[in-house]
Copies of this chain bind each other. A is one copy, B any other.
Amino acid sequence: MTNAVGGKSIPSHVTLADVARAAGVSVATASKALNGRAQVRESTRVKVQEAAAALAFTPNFFAQALNSPRTGTIGMVTSDLDNRFVLPILLGAEDAFGSGSLSVLLADARDDVLREHLHLQTLLTRRVDGLLIVGRTTNPRPPVALMADVPVVYVYAPSTDPADASFTPDNVQAGRLAAEHLIATGRTRIALVNGEVSYAAAQDRAAGVNQALQAAGLQLVGGRSLFGQWGEGWGRDCARLLVRGGEPVDAIIGGSDHIARGILDALRDERISVPDDVAVIGFDNWDLLVRESRPTLTSVDMSLEQLGRAAAQHLVDAIGGAPSPGVVAGPVRLVVRDSA
C-alpha cells in the first residue's frame, strides 16, 4: 500500500510516516497527536486522526515495545492444561485481561519443572509484564525462580512462600459449609468419604468439616475422614460399607462431586432414600454431575472462574505496583439441591 519501488521483505504496513505525510505534518507531531499528548493544536490533531483512520493506520507493536517499559502482554503458565479445574480459571483470567486489553501468552509445563523453566525463559525474553502460574492441584508449590523482577501471581496451587501472591480456593471453608448445612438440617451422624490423602484439597475439606462438627459437639462417623481415591468407585464402596456397617449414618459428604455421585448410586442400589434417610453433599458443583443425578446433588461451588478473575485482576494491580496480598483464600458457596 505504501512503498512504491522496492520489494521490502516485510509486507510494509501503513506507517506513522505515511500518516504524517498524508496529514502534512512531521512524524513527531503525528505521534503526539495520536497519543493524546497535550502540545498539539486541536485542529491538527483532528487532521492527523482523520489521516490515520483513512489509511487504517495501526502502530507497529514491536516498534512501540522496543523502548517502552510495558508490553501489554502477560504470561500464563499452566502445569496441566488437561485438567478440568484450570478451564474456568483460565476463562476468568483471560476475561479480566482481555477487557483490559492485555494479551495472554499461554504455556503449558506438563507438570514438568524443566519445561516450566524453559517456558518461563521464553516468556521473559518476550518481556511479559507479569506472570500467572496456574497449578494442577491446591497443593502448595515452590515459587518460580526468575532472574528478572516481574510480578508473579499463583492461582489454584499457592506458592510455598507466604510472601508471594497466591489465590487458592478456600477448601477449609468449603468443608465447613458442607458440614454446617447438614448440621443445620438436623443431621448428626455424618461421614466423610474423601479423596486422595496426598491432596491438600482433601485435607483442607476434612479440616473444615471437622471444625464445624466440633463446634456442634459432634464428630465424624468412624471418627475420621475416609481418604481414598477421587473416583465414584471409591464413593460407592464406602457408601455401601457405611450403610451396611454397625454405626448409623444420616449424612455422607463426598470429597468431590464424583465421589458423591458414587455415593448416590450405591445408596440407590441399597434402596436407601436420599435425602430422607441419608443426605449427600459433594464438592466442586460440577454441573455435569450435579444437575442430572438422582436426586440432584447439593454441592459446594469453588467459584473458580471468579478465582481466576481475582488473580488476574491482582496481577494487573501488581504490575501497577500494588503490594502482594499473600495467600488469598477465594470464596466458595454452597449450592443446595435435592440431596441434602
- Using a CB–CB distance below 8 Å, which chain A residues touch chain B? 9-11, 56, 58-63, 65-69, 71, 76, 81-84, 87-88, 90-91, 94-95, 98, 101, 103-108, 110, 115, 119, 122-123, 125-127, 147-149, 231-233, 258, 262, 265, 288, 291-292, 294, 305
Contact of A103 among B61, B81, B95, B107 (CB under 8 A): B107
Q: Tell whether A91 pairs with B81 under 8 Å between CB atoms, given A76-B106, A126-B61.
A: yes
CB-nearest residue of chain B to A124: B58
Q: Tell whether A81 pairs with B87 under 8 Å between CB atoms, given A107-B104, A127-B62.
A: yes
* CA of A61 to CA of B127, assembled, Å: 8
Q: Tell whether A94 pairs with B108 under 8 Å between CB atoms, given A87-B87, A122-B103.
A: yes
CB-nearest residue of chain B to A230: B288
- The reply to whether A61 and B104 contact each other, CB–CB distance below 8 Å, is no
- The 5 A-B pairs with the shortest beta carbon distances in the complex, nearest first, are A106-B106, A62-B65, A62-B62, A81-B91, A233-B292
Q: Which of A103, A119, A148 has the most chain B CB atoms inside 10 A of its CB?
A: A103
Taking the closest CB of chain B, its distance from the CB of A30, in whole angstroms, is 18
* CA of A94 to CA of B82, assembled, Å: 11
- The reply to whether A125 and B61 contact each other, CB–CB distance below 8 Å, is yes
Q: What B residues does A305 contact at CB under 8 A?
A: 82
Taking the closest CB of chain B, its distance from the CB of A79, in whole angstroms, is 12
- The reply to whether A58 and B125 contact each other, CB–CB distance below 8 Å, is yes
